Structure 1
Amino acid sequence: MIGRLRGILLEKQPPEVLLDVSGVGYEIRLPMSSFYPLPDIGEEAVIYTHFVVREDAQLLYGFADKHERAMFRELIKVNGVGPKLALAILSGMSANQFVQCIHNDAVSTLVKLPGVGKKTAERLVVEMKDRLKNWVGADLLTPEADKMAFENGLQNNSTSANAKEEAISALVALGYKPASAEKTINKIYQQEMDCEALIRGALKSM
């Protein structure tokens, strides 16, 4: 199993990246919580990975640290939760926020995530409460770091003209309906915002 990769970021198209490791390019899909802290294109990055083999595909999922990957692995153990839904959950809230939802039986909060209906939310609470009882770990982004990352996105001078389209595409890839993604992006859009800032703002408002 591929557990960790270190290489040069060649492409960043949320929620996916292309990482060059000794001449081999790995396509990796990450939750947005792990995507935000990535360095710029052309710089070195270390990504912890989870390799999934299916009959029709071999998929590589990436995480900024072992803590986030551990939560992903706990999520996909739940009946009816696959890698795509686990990625969407970790894009909509941090690992520790998810733990709080489970401990507080916050079904109404979980159903706001894409692909999580009431039955799935209830199943998550029932199946994960005991497993996450002793969960410890720090969030990738503390409130202060989260604020700084958002402001950096607003100030990023590499904002592309199609940032809105890229952000909408990323939200759809995470499981949001196209109409809902477009409506939310249009609602929060400011000319100075880059793709990552738009995605962050959209996930907070959904």
Structure 2
Amino acid sequence: MIAYIKGNLTYIQDESVIVEVQGIGYEIICANPFVFQHLLNKEVLISTYHYVREDIQVLYGFKDEDQKYLFTKLISVSGIGPKGALAVLGTVNVADFVGAIEREDDKYLTSFPGVGKKTARQIILDLKGKLTTMISISSTDSDHELQHKEVNQNLAQLDEAKEALKALGYTDREIKSVLPKLPNDENNSTDTIIRKALALLMKN
């Protein structure tokens, strides 16, 4: 098992990064490769999961160990493969996701691509009580509801900003490259996010 890759980050693609180690380039599939944008051409250490099947070998990479741990648990759930797990990790806060499992919040879980009601129930059945060591669940129900509302609002604002940038002629790759640097709290309007994105894009 390859637990991590340490080397020079030489290239960032739409779905992966390339890390060179002693003259060998390792392609690592990531939920959002552009979270590593600030480390381009620098030494990085990326936590990895070596996925092996009869017809395929893939390295999946993560920005931290919590993401990696959640990924390994998600792919153990019937109906969720690596692509589905990455789709969840691409937009989720790990603590929020674990909290939703503990609260049996089907509505939250089904908001992710490829997760229907049946799969959401399977996630809860398989993982409830097994992930709480990753986070400290001490908030009240009202705190969770507010946090959930804020997360959904933030995602909606980012989606609106992305569509506006596309309308201005920017490509998905260009937009993805600045996403990790954009403000993501409820105090920022869609216009604020767009202005920040445009400033970053003009620098690139």
* TM-score for both structures, normalised by structure 1: 0.65
Higher relative contact order (CA 8 A, sep 6+): 1
Distance (whole Å) between structure 2 residues aligned to residue 167 and residue 131 of structure 1? 38
Within 5 Å, which residues of 2 pair with 1:2-41?
Answer: 2-32=2-32, 35-41=34-40
Cα distance between partner residues in 2 of 1:163 and 1:10:
23
SS in structure 1 of the partner of residue 122 of structure 2: helix
Aligned pair count reads 157
Contact 1:39 1:45 in 2 (8 A): no
Higher Cα Rg: structure 1 or 2? 2
Aligned in 2, Cα 1:162/1:53: closer, same or farther, shift over 3 Å? farther
Instruction: Report Cα offsets for 1:131-172 as digits up to 9, x if no partner.
Output: 1243337xxxxx9xxx9xxxxxx9xxxxxx9752327899xx
Q: Which runs of 4+ in 1 moved over 4 A?
A: 167-170, 188-191
User: TM-score, normalized by length of structure 2?
Assistant: 0.66
Distance 2:199 2:14 in 1: 15
1:46–1:64 CA contact under 8 A, matched in 2: no
Percent of aligned pairs with the same amino acid? 34
Unaligned runs of 5+ in 1: 138-142, 148-153, 155-160, 171-187, 196-206
Root-mean-square deviation (Å): 3.1
**Aligned mates of 2:175, 2:79 — CA distance in 1:** 26
> Which amino acid in structure 2 is aligned with residue 114 of structure 1?
P
Amino acid at match of 2:103: N
- 2:183 corresponds to 1:192: no
Does the CA contact (< 8 Å) of 2:66 and 2:134 recur in 1?
no
Inter-partner Cα distance in structure 1 for 2:72 and 2:41 = 29
Hey, what does 1:140 align to over in structure 2? none
Tell me, in whole angstroms, the C-alpha distance in 2 between the residues paired with 1:135 and 1:40.
26
Query: How much has 1:56 moved relative to structure 2?
Result: 2.3
